[in-house]
Structure 1
């Protein structure tokens, strides 16, 4: 079951933003996220806003009506933003974007290009399920203008995929990564999930070895989170599966970091590793640095100049509202300076570049120094150079306890 939307203030029907939010538009990075809400099947751990054909059988929602609504929302975005800055990044996520096929993904990118526009060096990413890709698919989306592919691998162990209700065969994800590279994609990501009940250390070793053999330049690795309302949560509640163990999750994270670092992929965000800065996901950096993005699609979230809003969730309702000429925003909030400071600490601290010490109050700076003494923050980085203020950069121990460090610094 998809998770619930947050509460917020009423959003205006025309989607208009307050004038202060539009100040500086274009001086900050600007990206577009497009949410594809369709999946062939629902994975047992997933609480994303996704729907199978059976879920939509009694509604008017379809990929065709969704794409028409996406075009309408992009037109609305251009109107609301006035003279929109061309998107520096586009990320098509889901759901399973590859279910649209290469033609559908090309149409999505055309819609972005024709409304808000793209910079000449825009990073354009699509997520893909390995089973709905092929060499021809990758060649076609590369020709359409996509520059980056992110593939959901999760694990190379069949029994781990079975627990996660993943439908792809263990070798298909790595084969798809090779096909993407052969089609001309320099930037390919593989997603892993670690800590699944029943996963052994050797299973993760096997997964990491398989990833490295593909030569991809980016890896995302996430601890399994049991989300309320999912099939996995129900199995754990019934006692048919054990809950993930925090100590095991920490061991697995250290294993991921050790293996990837030795192979030349270094962390630049707590859950992301890359071969070099050119391989970093620029779109996700938009989120982590508090820049601007417009989220298009059912349930998508947006942020411009300190105003954040989120769309209605169901594809049929989303399309119907846009067909009436209205904004699909369900609600929104205006972030206070305190809110923005809190989010800056929460998100920027997760980056390898860390957080400037001088944005913290003197009392919190002292807390940071204590955290460094405890091995949670890098002491030389915190001390600074030539009398300049230092930066709060997580150590490996600090990454394992990142949420606790954030609490101490807020």
Structure 2
């Protein structure tokens, strides 16, 4: 949940949506994202909308947060109307959702279930730091209906974790995975970051091998990005630490793909691998495929049939609006057909399922043969990135969107 919000048109105070967006609600998949904006420590690389204070004032405390977020779930029910619209995926992210008591997280899920219902095979995920849960908490979450947990491992090397301002002991990761399995979670994911200043290729290998030793069902590996306004960006600007090197990042990505593939995990999105097709994160696939989702929480973004909106950023302002019976939505935009087409190219190109060529315009289609010749796209339809293409995914997308007809 990036901290910067875009501009847009003012959102209605009651949160109402155009009839064009409401048409067909219930016939399309619906997801919920719940942003929990609290962290025990703000990591130096993080650009997300998070806060370390337990009490921010104005009713925006950790203790009251679940009640506030439940009010937005009820608002969503009123806005989307009295139609049968069971939710297929729920994702609690942050921040660190598991800083809230597990009973509060279950209460948030119960509110979504009570207002909308869940599909029989609903995927319900919470993110968690390894040091923010114990056996009892994981058992409560599983009993309350959570089906998937994603642990922010990031690295297995203590000095790399220190550079990232991560506070957990890497030796705790295997223990929390074991506790999650014992609680009955069939789907356990680990998140890793590569490219931290000072991280060697062998450090990265250690992290990958440590993660794989836990036998996760899903693994995400993200290149470190130096975001403007973060403590890490200031360190880079002062020359305290080096900027991540593109060649180093490429070597680390290839090592990850080699080791994860050998361990039986297949890529399904440029930065994500799953042990089985059903272990792919269906919630994130909903984003990448542009389906409907409602984002609950300060700064959260939502999308329903081409209408996208985002909430006020600060938890105090968010809580105040809901307390006053006003939608927390700050602004919104109605996406035209061309914008939606461009976003499909941006997102679906990253998937192993690929991008149908009929999404491209004439210029984009004219770029395809050259990208195939250069070994960046597989030959065929849909268009699928090669392994080299995954390394240059952003450049491939630029060519598909910017090539003039006859390129």
Using the alignment, how far apart are the partners of 2:197 and 2:399 within structure 1? 31
| Conserved 8 A contact 1:2-1:50 | no
Match of 1:68 in 2: 67
Match of 2:260 in 1: 260
Using the alignment, how far apart are the partners of 1:226 and 1:184 within structure 2? 37
| Conserved 8 A contact 2:59-2:319 | no
- Report the Cα offset of residue 92 of structure 1: 0.5
Match of 2:80 in 1: 81
Using the alignment, how far apart are the partners of 2:56 and 2:291 within structure 1? 38
Using the alignment, how far apart are the partners of 1:84 and 1:406 within structure 2? 37
Match of 2:189 in 1: 189
| Conserved 8 A contact 2:56-2:316 | no
Which range moved further: 191-200 or 227-236?
Answer: 227-236
2:404 matched to 1:405? no
Using the alignment, how far apart are the partners of 1:369 and 1:36 within structure 2? 45
Using the alignment, how far apart are the partners of 1:276 and 1:112 within structure 2? 28
CA deviations 1:67-94 (Å, max 9, x no partner) are 2221111111001101251110000000
Match of 1:396 in 2: 387
Unaligned stretches of 5+ residues in structure 2: 402-407
Match of 1:352 in 2: 352
Taking the TM superposition and a 5 Å limit, the aligned residue runs for 1:131-170 are 131-170=131-170
Match of 2:306 in 1: 306
- Report the Cα offset of residue 181 of structure 1: 1.4
| Conserved 8 A contact 2:344-2:359 | no
Unaligned stretches of 5+ residues in structure 1: 383-389
CA deviations 1:15-34 (Å, max 9, x no partner) are 01001111222232210000
Using the alignment, how far apart are the partners of 1:391 and 1:33 within structure 2? 29
- Report the Cα offset of residue 274 of structure 1: 0.3
Give TM-score scaled by structure 2 length.
0.96
Task: Extract structure 1 runs of 4+ deviating beyond 3 A.
Answer: 56-60
Using the alignment, how far apart are the partners of 2:79 and 2:357 within structure 1? 36
| Conserved 8 A contact 1:138-1:183 | yes
Match of 2:100, SS? Answer: helix
Number of paired residues?
A: 400
2:98 matched to 1:98? yes
- Report the Cα offset of residue 101 of structure 1: 2.2
Using the alignment, how far apart are the partners of 2:197 and 2:384 within structure 1? 31
Match of 2:320 in 1: 320
Match of 1:202 in 2: 202
Superposition RMSD on alpha carbons, in Å?
Answer: 1.4
